[in-house]
């Protein structure tokens, strides 16, 4: 068994101790590498098992809850330098797939940002209220379900038009599969995965060219159904 398959099996067992031991034995020790090369593929493998009816919804929920615990343990005690940069992260109303977003929040904190992580299923009105008061520099949105894409456009436009004009970062399962550019606004950036997100963070800090796909009003459609 590969490390990925082993971790997936421990997550499906709901055994955080074995899962943690598996992570500790992984050759790559940097947190972003563990996120991108081990945990994300393990959860994708579990998702495939569910889609092919090899595990039940209960199995998938148990694995997700166990993975959530592991992510919290991995991010506990991140030491950051004082920073004026602020970011808030949320899933769209109705979106329940939040583990990737939690990894991104951890990555931003590791780079010294002050963050607020709201997890799954945050209605737009409450996101707007918080952003108006807290004034983040970046707002990260996660989308994983195709029929939520019109809602993504509503969020991106409303949040992007706040007086302080925060950068709107869009990620999630669909960001790596389709062109989401038509569902954003002028200050929306699509980030396909964690390495691209970290590259964007490094560019932001140095003031260099920022990676990611910046949306334009004339972008092509998502895909042909």
Residue corresponding to tokens 């034995």: 25
In DSSP terms, 171 is beta-bridged to: 142
Tens of pLDDT along 47-94? 999 999 999 999 999 999 999 999 999 988 776 666 689 999 999 999
**In which element (H, E) is residue 170 found?**
strand 167-171
Boundary residue ending a domain (49, 75, 101): 75
126 in any annotated domain: yes
Alpha carbon distance 134, 86 (integer Å): 9
Say yes or no: 43 and 63 in one domain: yes
80 in any annotated domain: no
Tens of pLDDT along 190-208? 999 999 999 999 998 777 5
> Please, how many CA atoms are within 13 Å of residue 25, restricted to the half-sphere of its CB?
11
Say yes or no: 160 and 186 in one domain: yes
- CA 8 remoteness from chain centre: 19
| pTM tops 0.95 | no
Residue corresponding to tokens 């004009």: 165
Q: Give the total number of structural domains in the chain.
A: 2
CATH of the domain at 23: 1.10.1240.10
Give the structural domain span for 141: 86-214
CATH of the domain at 113: 3.40.50.280
221 in any annotated domain: no
Sign of CA pseudo-dihedral 135, 208, 187, 184: negative
């Amino acid at each position: 068994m590969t490390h990925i398959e082993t971790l997936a099996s421990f997550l499906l067992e709901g055994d955080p101790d074995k899962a943690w031991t598996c992570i500790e034995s992984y050759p790559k020790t940097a947190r972003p590498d563990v996120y991108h090369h081990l945990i994300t593929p393990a959860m994708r493998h579990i998702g495939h098992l569910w889609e092919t009816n090899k595990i039940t919804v209960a199995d998938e929920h148990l694995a997700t809850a166990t993975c959530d615990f592991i992510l919290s343990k991995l991010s506990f005690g991140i030491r950051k330098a004082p920073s004026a940069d602020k970011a808030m992260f949320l899933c769209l109303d109705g979106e329940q797939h939040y583990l990737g977003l939690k990894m991104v929040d951890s990555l931003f904190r590791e780079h010294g940002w002050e963050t607020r992580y709201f997890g799954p299923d945050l209605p737009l009105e409450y996101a707007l209220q918080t952003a108006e008061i807290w004034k983040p520099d970046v707002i990260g949105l996660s989308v994983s379900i195709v029929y939520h894409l019109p809602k993504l456009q509503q969020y991106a436009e409303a949040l992007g038009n706040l007086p302080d004009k925060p950068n709107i970062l869009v990620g999630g399962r669909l960001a790596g599969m389709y062109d989401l550019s038509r569902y954003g606004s002028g200050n929306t950036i699509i980030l396909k995965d964690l390495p691209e997100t970290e590259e964007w963070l490094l560019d932001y800090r140095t003031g260099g060219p920022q990676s990611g796909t910046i949306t334009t009003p004339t972008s092509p459609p998502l895909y042909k159904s």
